[in-house]
Structure 1
Amino acid sequence: MQRYQKWALNPLTVLACVVAGGLAGWAAPSWSAMLAFVGVVYVDLLKMIVLPFMLSAVIFSLQNLYRDGGAARIFKRVVVVFLAASLAAATLSAAATLLVRPGGNLPLETRAALGRIISDDDQGSNTIMSMSNVKAEAAPATDIKDLLQALIPQNIFASLANGETLKALVFALLFGFAAGQVPSRISTGLNDALATVYHACQTLTRWINLPVPLILFCMAASQVAHTGLQPLRAMGSFVVVFLLISAMLLALSMGFIARRAGVPYGLVFKAMREPFALGVATNSSATCMPAMVDALAGKLQFARARVELLVPLSISLLRVGAIAYFVCATLFIAALYGRALSPYDLGLLALASVLSGFAAAGMSGIVTITLVGSICAYLALPFEAAFVLLVAVDPLCAMARTAVTVIGSCASVAAVCAPPVKL
């Protein structure tokens, strides 16, 4: 079983399954389209574990940290590390995108292909969208009241039922701090119950992950059957640049983890196999939390109490992959319309992308893409036509976006935690 899991989560296996599924979707689209339900069921099974795992891990860890007197010190470090990681991702993504400049000086046939995609929306209504320079409308302002309403749960049970991760996280943090002040003789039963839930969720995750190769094949086949290969050809420059940026961020993150843990790079690469494969397979960073905890605390020997607290925090608040995507997509749109951005515009882009990354917590797929429109509004860039283009290639970009968020979060957790003690 261990050999099978090692093979199933190997990046080469993941890549081979995705390629094989894509070929099947291209060769037999009608048959492949029927496989879409397999991916839906798989992701739903993983999502049902997320909130119980997060609540049990955060509350249990905060109780222990509060008694150790280290919670306040850790949260100061969390703020610094999360901000530094977000700004670094935005800066590196901007530099790489400006260097290659996808979307600029496209051949006439490529622009014609983009125009055909724009003119054919998902509903088949053949809505014609202009590729001209039209100033986008300003996004509605968000005040402190809206932010608090997005964070504070009025009813924790309703938030759990609706899958509102951020609100559940806020409750877990407050409850964990309060439970930390309860005497040990009273809270022992709660600790045992939370530990049971936590380990049960990890076991369920391992069981559900057994058919990962088959799941990847079915998901890739159904997606290609739905969209075809034309969007990838027409948007090739953007996809290639974003994948290169993602690869660079993944390599830097794993290199930082290796240095922080004091182990060879190859050992970190092996430890990150399962979180990486899950991110690619599910496009949901939250479902990767048990695998991240096992990789950092189990394989790399970081302090488990710290890891179990910081992994849910990083997944909920630090969206490195989304930030990189926002920067790359906005610069692609600017190049597509021939708009030169000043240093002030680039600074505003970085800041807006970091804030949008925080707003992207709990979002996935097309909902994440809509946040690019808010950033474009700040820079007076048109977004409506480009939105259809981004949606057409999002399945591939979402895989890279999620993988970067997962591995980048692991690197941030490693930065906050003390280096493992070598015996």
Structure 2
Amino acid sequence: MNVLKPLSGSTLALLACMAAGALCGLVAEPAGALAYLFGQLYLAVVNMAAMPLLVVATFFGLRQVCELPRPAWRVGTIGALALGLMVLCGVAGTLAGALAMPGAHLPEHAYATFGERLLQSAGDAQEVGVTLFDGADAAVSQTSAYGWREAVPDNFYRVLAQGHPLGILAGTLLFGLAFAALSREQTSMLGNVFEGVYRTLEIIIERANLLIPVLAFGTAAWVSAHTPPAMLAAMGSFLVCFLACAAVLGGAATALTARRAGLPLVQIVASLKAPLLVGLTSGSATASIPHTIEAMSARLGFSRGIVELIVPFGAVFVRAGSALYFSLATVFVANLYDRPLGAGDFAVIAFASVGAAFLSSGKSGVATVGYMGVVLSLLQLPAEAASVLFVTIDLICEGPRNVVSLLAVCAVIALVSAGLPSERVMPEPLRAQPQVRAPLRFALSRGQLALVAGCAMTVASLIVLMGIGVGAK
């Protein structure tokens, strides 16, 4: 543990682990597969602890936000800003795709690589069943209906047992609002229980995150062993465009947070280093919840109540990175199949990507890629064939998706709570500094000094006379 702790918090160490893992995947695939297995066990532990942490943190966040002025306005503002940032990422991805045109005019060997990958996938599945255009409306309606049933469940215990984050968060919000409406005297015992559970789950995730170097090593080994270089080269235009857009949008969100917090950009990046590394290397949107809460409240000075409400909410719902990913992927597939896109098509891509990102709430990894079919079906594009291509590179895109979503959550926190004196607390470095009182200084004029000297002589004379009198007796 003492060896893994500095490694899990070091950017250079994690990069070295990824480079070593990529080399291991090429020369010693069994060792890389074993490390990847340990990484999946880590993700299982984190997801096991993150779900109840999401519930408890939402309880405390609602309680503290309801005690602030205009709580309904604040909650509505949080939802509007979250939706606005997702729409902004969807529009940015669409515009970037329209300008860069990834997937257009690819060389012949790239198309040959795609064909081999599709045939290989069909052979692994023992069947070739690719739906090109039929049933698009049915697929969209079925996916939408499933998303709404999951978001508004009729049985809270069922979604809790099945692990559906949308339904769990919906039930948690209702229970949390009722919990916040009660007085502290009525909920003191339950609040103490929640506090103990909260801190315990934080410790579990913090200890589990020590295995991030192993996960980074195993993931890099798995990618290098199972992703042919020809496939990476064929998908290179999409990867370059997606990573560049993720860097630009992430930098803009960080700059916005720094401006609203009134702190230097370097300090913001240093404070968010831990959650960014966890989100980039863990592949889980919920693994960075405790680190983000600690960074935004204790280090950057935002209201802990607002942070504890927005961070769990954002980990599930604010899928800004997925909206960017879906929009760029749709433009790539359209260019790949020589599908001309007009202004109306670009508008459909931008807003449908936001809808697909919302429907994918609570999902991670390959499960997220399947929701890209919602956007592709609206444009009559082959969703199943495209999914096969993007599943191959999903491990590369998953970390940047999580980072963009995490920074969007931080921007929402900064926009809602920054600049409000009743919601700002002193950052941790400032609280740690001892308070030093300024020394008192006396400045007397000549007249005042003469008066003080005369008074002193008078008092001394009286003391001498009193002594003489006492001695004479």
Normalising by structure 2, we get a TM-score of: 0.83
Match of 1:49 in 2: 49
> Match of 1:288?
288
Structure 2 distance, partners of 1:111, 1:406, is 35
Q: Does 1:142 align with 2:148?
A: no
Alpha-carbon shift at residue 333 of structure 1 (Å): 0.3
Q: CA deviation at 1:341?
A: 0.9
Distance 1:295 1:27 in 2: 39
Q: Give the CA deviation at 1:129.
A: 8.0
Structure 2: distance between partners of 1:240 and 1:122: 28
Amino acid at match of 1:139: D
Which residue of structure 2 aligns with residue 259 of structure 1? Answer: 259
2:4 and 2:255 map into 1 onto residues whose CA distance is: 27
- Relative to structure 1, the CA distance from residue 183 to residue 322 in structure 2 (aligned partners, 3 Å threshold; closer, same or farther) is same
Whole-Å separation in 2 of the counterparts to 1:181 and 1:158? 26
Report the more deviating stretch, 64-73 or 49-58: 64-73
Residue type matched to 2:166 in 1?
L
Determine what percentage of the aligned residue pairs are the same residue.
Answer: 30
Between stretches 381-390 and 253-262, larger displacement belongs to: 381-390
More deviation, 245-254/136-145: 136-145
Alignment RMSD, CA only? 2.4
Number of the residue aligned with 1:338: 338
Alpha carbons 2:59, 2:176 under 8 Å: kept: yes
Amino acid at match of 2:409: S
Query: Residue 50 of structure 1: CA displacement?
Result: 1.0
Contact 1:102–1:238 (CA under 8 A) maintained in structure 2 = yes
Change (3 A) 1:247 1:351: same
Contact 1:326 1:372 in 2 (8 A): yes
* Cα shift readout 1:55-76 (whole Å, capped 9, x = no counterpart): 1111122123224454202112
Range with greater deviation from structure 2 (157-166 or 360-369) = 157-166
| Offset, 1:122 | 7.3
1:103 aligns with 2:103: yes
Gaps of 5+ in 2: 431-473
Cα distance in 2 for residues equivalent to 1:241 and 1:21: 25
Which runs of structure 2 are paired with 1:68-147 in the superposition (5 Å)? 68-121=68-121, 124-125=124-125, 135=133, 137-140=135-138, 141-142=140-141
Q: Using the TM superposition, give the Cα deviation of residue 95 of structure 1 relative to its aligned residue in structure 2, in angstroms.
A: 1.8
* Matching residue of 1:221: 221
Say if 1:142 and 1:110 are closer, same or farther in 2 by CA, change over 3 A: closer
2:359 aligned with 1:359, yes or no? yes
Using the alignment, how far apart are the partners of 1:186 and 1:146 within structure 2? 38
Aligned to 1:153: 153
Distance in 1 (CA, whole Å) between partners of 2:217 and 2:122 is 23
One-letter code aligned to 2:83: L
CA contact (8 A) 1:23 1:221 kept: yes
Opposite residue 106 of structure 2, the aligned amino acid is L
**Structure ID, larger Rg:** 2
Using a 3 Å threshold, how does the CA distance of structure 1 residues 205 and 30 change in structure 2: closer, same or farther? closer
Matches within 5 A, 1:21-420: 21-121=21-121, 124-125=124-125, 135=133, 137-140=135-138, 141-142=140-141, 148-419=148-419, 420=424
Deviation at 1:240, TM superposition (A): 1.5
Per-residue deviation at 1:405? 1.5
CA distance in 2, matches of 1:388, 1:268: 38
Q: CA deviation at 1:206?
A: 1.6
Change (3 A) 1:395 1:4: closer
The answer as to whether partners of 1:38 and 1:219 remain within 8 angstroms in 2 is no
Gaps of 5+ in 1: none
- The alignment covers a number of residue pairs equal to 421
The alpha-carbon deviation at position 104 of structure 1 amounts to: 0.4
2:462 alignment counterpart: none
Change (3 A) 1:312 1:70: farther
Structure 1, residues 201-232: CA drift from partner, whole Å, max 9, x if none?
Answer: 22222211223222211222134323343321
Q: Which amino acid aligns with 1:79?
A: G
Question: 2:34, 2:67 → 1: CA distance?
Answer: 53
How far residue 30 of structure 1 moved from its aligned partner, in angstroms, is 3.4
8 Å CA contact 1:39–1:215 kept in 2: the answer is yes
Partners of 2:40 and 2:215 within 8 A in 1: no
SS at match of 1:211: helix
Q: Is the 8 A contact 1:285 1:402 kept in 2?
A: yes
Bigger mean CA offset, 297-306 vs 217-226? 217-226
- C-alpha change, 1:45 and 1:321, in structure 2 (3 Å) is same
Whole-Å separation in 1 of the counterparts to 2:219 and 2:118: 24
CA deviation string 1:250-278 (max 9, x = no partner)? 11111111111111111111122111111
Distance 1:22 1:193, change over 3 A: same
SS in 1 for 2:288: helix
**Partner of 2:137: helix, strand, or coil?**
coil
Q: Does the 8 Å CA contact 1:119/1:127 hold for their aligned counterparts?
A: no
SS at match of 2:120: coil
Pairwise CA distance, 1:306 = 0.8
User: In 2, Cα distance between the equivalents of 1:101 and 1:147?
Assistant: 31
Which digits, 9 at most, give the CA deviation of each residue in 1:70-101, with x for residues without a partner?
42021121122112201111121122222221
Check conservation: 1:120, 1:127, Cα contact below 8 A: no
Q: Secondary structure at the match of 1:210?
A: helix
Moved more, 194-203 or 315-324: 194-203
Whole-angstrom distance in 1 between the partners of 2:204 and 2:124: 41
Residues in 1 aligned to 2:375 and 2:11: alpha-carbon distance in whole angstroms: 33
